[in-house]
Amino acid sequence: MSFAGQTVAITGASSGLGLHLARQLATHGARLALMARDGERLREAAAGLGNDTLLFPGDVTSENDCRQFIGEIVAEHGALDHLIANAGQSMWARFEEIENLELLRRLVEVNYLGVAHCIHAALPALRKSRGQVVVISSIQGKVGVPFHSGYSASKHALEGLVDTLRSELHGTGINFLQVYPDWIRGTGMRQNALGSHGQAVGDRKHDHGGAGVTVDECARAILRTMAKGRSSLYIPRKLQYVSCLKMFFPGLLRWGIRRRLNTQK
């Protein structure tokens, strides 16, 4: 597996999965372009990744920021080979207990529009390189999960977007890889999840209770799959059966999800 000389753009790269992907890609020789909202935190996170790493403080919910980000990459490196749409926001609240429905708007803006903005800006460069778009989705893009109504809905929206683009861009050489992870440990995503009041739940977060995969394992699996040019990745692999369970045994699937959530602290 080698990404030597290839230019890889990553959103949400100042922490969590985005940062782990950047670090591993750097060891494989990739030229990195990283985007995150907090410029200072991004600079601190990128220390040691190489002097040619392009850093762009910006927000994926801004169409202009995304266009500027891709524009700087092409100006600096002359090409873009991989776009990893990683920036995301989660939630933890019963739908009926949400105090301000702007929470739902925020999730759509980050998780859906943020991806759409970046892909739209990057398509001309990816056409030239016959490159790849990696969408960090969630198994919740396949099945709804209690307390995550807005998050699951935003990830379902990504399914429609990518399915459509695969058809529209057939023959261009652009590959779309959708990643469907389970809970990822070590990302801080749950602390930053929005609660019913629209603010991060912080220390009141629910604990995984040992479930899920580590962020390092997730990053390594994504890079292996990117190198193979595949269209989907389930982490762990057994999650690929969720769609079948939803179609043929929906009641059993919902029971299993509720049972699992009840074991989390």
Share of the chain above pLDDT 90, in %: 77
Question: Given this model, what pLDDT does residue 155 score?
Answer: 97
Question: Given this model, what pLDDT does residue 13 score?
Answer: 96
Q: Is pLDDT of 97 > 90?
A: yes
Q: Is pLDDT of 142 > 70?
A: yes
Question: Given this model, what pLDDT does residue 179 score?
Answer: 98
Which is more confidently placed, 60 or 256? Answer: 60
Q: Is pLDDT of 207 > 60?
A: no
- Tokens, residue 18: 């985005």
Domains and CATH numbers, the chain: 7-262 (3.40.50.720)
Residue from 225, 212, 36, 8 nearest 126 by CA: 8
Q: pTM for this one?
A: 0.93
Residue from 141, 144, 176, 147 nearest 159 by CA: 141
Q: Is pLDDT of 198 > 60?
A: yes
Which is more confidently placed, 194 or 167? Answer: 167
Cα(133)–Cα(126) distance, integer angstroms: 8
Which is more confidently placed, 212 or 124? Answer: 124
Q: How confident is the model at residue 210 (pLDDT cuts 50, 70, 90)?
A: low
**Strand, helix or coil at 33?**
strand
Question: Given this model, what pLDDT does residue 186 score?
Answer: 74
Strands, E, within 14-151: which ranges? 31-36, 54-57, 82-85, 132-136
CB atoms within 10 A of CB 32: 25
- Both ends of the chain: CA-CA distance in Å? 39
Q: Which of 89-98, 150-159, 183-192, 243-252 has the lowest mean pLDDT?
A: 183-192
- List Cα–Cα distances, 123 to 64, 67, 175, 178, in angstroms: 15, 11, 11, 17
> What mean pLDDT value characterizes the chain?
92
Q: How confident is the model at residue 264 (pLDDT cuts 50, 70, 90)?
A: low
Average pLDDT over residues 182-202: 81
222-252: pLDDT as tens digits: 999 999 999 999 999 999 999 999 899 989 9
Question: Given this model, what pLDDT does residue 94 score?
Answer: 94
20-73: pLDDT as tens digits: 999 999 999 999 999 999 999 999 999 989 888 999 999 999 999 999 999 999
Residues annotated catalytic, as ranges: 151
Q: How many helices (H) and strands (E) does the chain have?
A: 9, 9
4-24: pLDDT as tens digits: 999 999 999 999 999 999 999
Question: Given this model, what pLDDT does residue 218 score?
Answer: 96
